[in-house]
Chain A
Amino acid sequence: MDFTFNEDQLLLQQATRDFLEGECTPEWVRASWESDTGRDPAFWKRLAEIGVPGLLVPEAHGGLGLDETDWVLLLEEVGRAALAEPVVATAVAAAALAELDDPAPAAEWLPRVAAGDARLAMGHAASPFVADAHVADRLLLPADGALHLLPQSAVSLEAQPSNDGSQRLYRATFAASSATRAADGARAAAILDAALDRGALACAAQALGVADRLISLAVEYAGQRQQFGVAIGSFQAVKHMLADVKVALEYARSHVYRASHSVARGERCRAVDVSMAKLAACEAATAAAKTSLQVHGAIGYTYEQDVHLWMKRAWSLDLAFGDPVFHRARLSSAVIDGALPAESFGYSPQGA
């Protein structure tokens, strides 16, 4: 079986990279930090024109109808560019809408998402503050074991502070009623589980791009900055630090790609694969942030230097859709407590 990405998938990734390299520059990211909403509807529309918000939206609703194995490549580029638009919040909520028993909300909102005319947000117990709620046309929020679909006007939003200037978080409160209920019981739980795994996978994929960018910034700087008459990149101690985070990144990449396959196929080991990917990718990204900062030295601490744009993104991704403690606990439950049999990891013990 060939697990490598095909030419079409790599072309999609390259097209996304070309667009974001040209349009989502560090100056653009800085400007978004300093704007009131941190988001730009015109830029969102341009993202829709190239197909970013509609990638997971079924073709019947005007999207590309692709799956998470394609999505992770695109999200890697989102992380590499430190794009702040609500790509993940909207995609996670859109996928959840498509999983509701009632097809009407999906029929109404998914074509708008694909066209760039709507943005969505979703809450989850593992990520209690709702990202991008302030620009969402519709919010999917959990309460009392049910999932509720609400217009923004029906939700009270309280802004929360974040280290990452790109991140806009809100405490969302609302009056739940039978009229707002979109799913309940086991159905709501299944949709929330899927949303958590999809969101955590998205964080992991973005973390790959963030780590790669941080390493690139450090390598470039190490080649320019001179000390004792030579570039600091020629010092073995600097080389080793950078090599270590590069190894961590490539190790994490395999986990993310495997998790994307598990999410796309709804594999039994989906939760474990996603938690492994989230932990490995965010560890690589936070390590890359620390190393990049150290390589840059004092100048890395300045606001004008670009390192912090990605460093703070690495930190915020580490906490979104389940922090490391949550994902380690989930792994422990599955692996040590035996919540999942060994076969679900693709392992068949001798003589079993």
Chain B
Amino acid sequence: MKIVVCLKQVPHSDARLDINGDGTWIQEDNLKFEINSYDTYALEEALRIKDAGEAEVVVVSIGPDRVTQALRTALGMGADRAVHVNDSAVEGSDALGIAKVLAAIVKAESPDLVVTGLMSDDGNFSAVPPMIAELCDMPSATSVLKVDGANGSLTVERELEGGAMEVVELPKPCLLAVQTGLNQVRYASLKGIMAAKKKPIDVKTAADLGVGDQVGAGAAKVRMEKVYQPPKGEGAELLEGSTDDVVGSLMNKVKELGLL
């Protein structure tokens, strides 16, 4: 069995984010990065399938040189090999452009299963996973919270609105976009990181994958117009006094607004 896991490297959750000069994204210089939290659950789920039987786990990511660190971490956690699309031509791609790059890798790898995070911590689009599935003509399930394997198919539980769950069965090959909390993500071990030095990272460009003319800002149909800090609202009211006073005032406000 072969499993492809798509990883995105995003700014660290503790990083202080400043907006860049032209106001279209954040300032990335000197920023600390980490693997997108949703994707760590995707990787863990793939590694659990590997631990339970025979499987090869291939991690895939797009981005500049710094992305190597995310891939090395994934290899240190137990992935077998990595594909890194390191190509400035991909910069400025919209979700479809990114999906085309990842889909090209998935087609080349021909895996039994593709696992991704439900969304990225920085973009929050949730668009790329279903796009990959569509481009690769494979069934998919999003917001996955439980995976059970069977011979030729997978049974997964999806999280719906209001705490409801949906159980669906997918034939392999398929794509799963997983929700956080699906599992307990393991730590990369020092031994694993040392062993990862011998694991291959295959560096590719968009042209290598045959999608050189379909990516980048020029091909994007969705462009980031503006990134800004939301202005402070006028309606905020600071409740002051003792804890009892604050709780009492808060309860009155809630009742006034008809929320109880």
**Residues of A that sit less than 8 Å from B by CB:** 7-8, 10-12, 14-16, 18-19, 22, 49-52, 54-55, 64, 66, 74
A18-B188, A50-B187, A74-B190 are known; give 16 further A-B pairs, CB within 8 A. Answer: A8-B194, A11-B76, A11-B193, A12-B190, A12-B193, A14-B73, A15-B76, A15-B189, A16-B190, A22-B187, A50-B188, A51-B190, A54-B191, A64-B190, A64-B194, A66-B194
Q: Which residues of A contact B68 (CB under 8 A)?
A: 7
CA distance A51 to B187 in the complex (A): 11
A18 smallest CB distance to B (angstroms) = 6
Interface string of B188-205 (1 = CB under 8 A from A): 111101100100000000
Pull 13 A–B residue pairs with CB atoms less than 8 Å apart, ordered by A: A8-B194, A8-B197, A11-B76, A11-B193, A12-B194, A15-B188, A16-B190, A19-B187, A22-B187, A50-B187, A50-B191, A64-B194, A74-B190
A44 smallest CB distance to B (angstroms) = 15
B84: Cβ under 8 A from any A Cβ: no
Chain B residues touching A, majority SS: helix
CA distance A16 to B188 in the complex (A): 8
Q: Which residues of A contact B194 (CB under 8 A)?
A: 8, 12, 51, 64, 66
Nearest B residue to A22 by beta-carbon distance? B187
Q: Which residues of B contact A22 (CB under 8 A)?
A: 187
A50 contacts B197, C-beta separation under 8 Å: no
CA distance A66 to B191 in the complex (A): 11
B190 contacts A15, C-beta separation under 8 Å: yes
CA distance A11 to B190 in the complex (A): 8
- Given A7-B68, A11-B69, A11-B73, the answer on whether A18 and B187 have CB atoms closer than 8 Å is yes
Q: Which residues of B contact A16 (CB under 8 A)?
A: 190
B69 contacts A15, C-beta separation under 8 Å: no
CA distance A15 to B188 in the complex (A): 6
Q: Which residues of A contact B189 (CB under 8 A)?
A: 15, 49-51
CA distance A34 to B187 in the complex (A): 27
Chain A residues touching B, majority SS: helix
B232 smallest CB distance to A (angstroms) = 17
A59 smallest CB distance to B (angstroms) = 9
CA distance A336 to B158 in the complex (A): 73
B141 smallest CB distance to A (angstroms) = 29
Nearest A residue to B189 by beta-carbon distance? A50
CA distance A91 to B189 in the complex (A): 18
CA distance A349 to B193 in the complex (A): 44
Q: Which of A7, A55, A66 contacts B72 (CB 8 A)?
A: A7
Q: Which residues of B contact A74 (CB under 8 A)?
A: 190
Interface string of B95-130 (1 = CB under 8 A from A): 000000000000000000000000000000000000
Nearest B residue to A18 by beta-carbon distance? B187
Q: What number of residue pairs across chains A and B have CB atoms under 8 A from each other? A: 48
- Given A22-B187, A50-B187, A50-B191, the answer on whether A15 and B73 have CB atoms closer than 8 Å is yes
Q: Which residues of B contact A66 (CB under 8 A)?
A: 194
B75 smallest CB distance to A (angstroms) = 10
A85 smallest CB distance to B (angstroms) = 15
A11 contacts B187, C-beta separation under 8 Å: no
Give the contacts of B170-191 with A (CB-CB under 8 A). Answer: 187-191
Q: Which residues of B contact A49 (CB under 8 A)?
A: 189
A51 contacts B191, C-beta separation under 8 Å: yes
Nearest B residue to A49 by beta-carbon distance? B189
CA distance A49 to B78 in the complex (A): 13
Q: Which residues of B contact A51 (CB under 8 A)?
A: 189-191, 194
CA distance A50 to B193 in the complex (A): 10
Shortest 9 CB-CB distances between A and B: which pairs?
A51-B190, A50-B189, A15-B188, A51-B191, A19-B187, A11-B193, A12-B190, A51-B189, A50-B190
CA distance A22 to B188 in the complex (A): 12
B143 smallest CB distance to A (angstroms) = 25
CA distance A19 to B187 in the complex (A): 6
CA distance A15 to B194 in the complex (A): 11
Nearest A residue to B65 by beta-carbon distance? A7
Interface string of B31-71 (1 = CB under 8 A from A): 00000000000000000000000000000000000001100
Q: Which residues of B contact A55 (CB under 8 A)?
A: 190
CA distance A14 to B76 in the complex (A): 12
Q: Which of B69, B72, B187, B191 contacts A64 (CB 8 A)?
A: B191
CA distance A10 to B197 in the complex (A): 13
CA distance A14 to B14 in the complex (A): 14
CA distance A54 to B189 in the complex (A): 12
B37 smallest CB distance to A (angstroms) = 12
CA distance A16 to B69 in the complex (A): 15
Nearest B residue to A15 by beta-carbon distance? B188
CA distance A53 to B187 in the complex (A): 16
Nearest A residue to B66 by beta-carbon distance? A7
A11 contacts B191, C-beta separation under 8 Å: no
- Residue among A12, A15, A19, A51 having the largest count of chain B Cβ atoms under 10 Å: A15
CA distance A15 to B193 in the complex (A): 9
CA distance A227 to B197 in the complex (A): 52
CA distance A249 to B218 in the complex (A): 48
Q: Which residues of A contact B193 (CB under 8 A)?
A: 8, 11-12, 15
CA distance A12 to B189 in the complex (A): 8
A205 smallest CB distance to B (angstroms) = 16
CA distance A10 to B193 in the complex (A): 11
Nearest B residue to A9 by beta-carbon distance? B193
Q: Which residues of B contact A15 (CB under 8 A)?
A: 73, 76, 187-190, 193
Q: Which residues of B contact A18 (CB under 8 A)?
A: 187-188
CA distance A22 to B186 in the complex (A): 11
A58 smallest CB distance to B (angstroms) = 13
CA distance A66 to B197 in the complex (A): 14
